[in-house]
């Protein structure tokens, strides 16, 4: 877990469509609706610090059986170490803005979770392949196998997540 640096203004319309839908849906969903989706997600699936902090807070709340809602999420994100205490207000504004009708479809948007995991996995696979290409140019041959194994492990993890997400 890393502390997210919250921008001074985070407009939900500047957040990727899938991330905005899932984030708003998670906020508005009850625990039973939220639980199977959270089992698929990781904060790093999201591209913005605010969205990562939101999902991290919800995962923390689920793990510690805390009541997570629009009001409590900023405090949970702080307690879990996803945001600094001084950013609670900004996180609160982000959460409030995220649950407006023009920002999210609500809990029904949780059906987009597979698409978000797929997009995240593709992004991560691309990053690993770029690193592998760079390593091929700079890494001495005796370290090449280590780089290949790390890439295989990362891609295997992504494949497993996609397979799990496809069953939800």
Instruction: Please give the model's pTM, rounded to 2 decimal places.
Output: 0.76
Q: Is residue 112 part of a domain?
A: yes
pLDDT of 9 above 70: no
User: 27-38, pLDDT tens digit by residue?
Assistant: 999 999 999 999
Rounded CA gap, 75 and 87, in Å?
10
Rounded CA gap, 107 and 90, in Å?
23
User: Residue 54 — pLDDT band, cuts 50, 70, 90?
Assistant: very high
Q: Is residue 75 part of a domain?
A: yes
Q: Is residue 36 part of a domain?
A: yes
Determine the Cα angle at 59 with ends 160 and 32, to 5°: 90
**Number of folded domains that form the chain:** 1
Q: Is residue 154 part of a domain?
A: yes
Q: Is residue 6 part of a domain?
A: no
Instruction: Specify the CATH number for the domain of residue 33.
Output: 1.10.860.10
Q: Is residue 1 part of a domain?
A: no
Domain of 126 in residue numbering reads as: 12-167
Cα 21 to chain centroid distance, Å, stands at 12
Q: Is residue 33 part of a domain?
A: yes
| Mean pLDDT computed over every residue of the chain | 84
Which residue pairs, CB below 8 angstroms and at least 24 apart, start in 54-59? 54/23, 54/26, 54/27, 54/91, 54/94, 54/95, 54/98, 55/23, 55/26, 56/1, 56/4, 56/80, 56/82, 57/82, 58/26, 58/34
Q: Is residue 125 part of a domain?
A: yes
Spatial CA neighbour of 98 closest among 3, 26, 23? 23
- What's the pLDDT score for residue 10? 67
Are 75 and 88 a contacting pair, CB within 8 Å?
Answer: yes
Share of the chain above pLDDT 90, in %: 42
């Amino acid at each position: 877990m890393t502390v997210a640096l919250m921008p001074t203004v985070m407009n939900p319309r500047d957040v990727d469509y899938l991330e905005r839908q899932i984030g708003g849906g998670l906020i508005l969903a009850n625990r039973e609706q939220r639980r199977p989706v959270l089992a698929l997600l990781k904060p790093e699936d999201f591209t913005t610090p605010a969205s990562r902090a939101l999902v991290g807070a919800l995962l923390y709340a689920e793990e510690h059986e805390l009541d997570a809602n629009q009001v409590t999420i900023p405090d949970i994100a702080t307690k879990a170490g996803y945001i600094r205490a001084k950013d609670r207000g900004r996180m609160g504004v982000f959460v409030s803005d995220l649950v407006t009708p023009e920002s999210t479809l609500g809990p029904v948007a949780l059906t987009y979770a597979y698409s978000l995991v797929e997009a995240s996995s593709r992004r991560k696979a691309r990053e690993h392949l770029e690193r592998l290409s760079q390593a091929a140019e700079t890494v001495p041959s005796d370290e090449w196998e280590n780089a290949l194994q790390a890439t295989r492990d990362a891609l295997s993890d992504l494949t497993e997540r996609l397979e799990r997400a496809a069953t939800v």
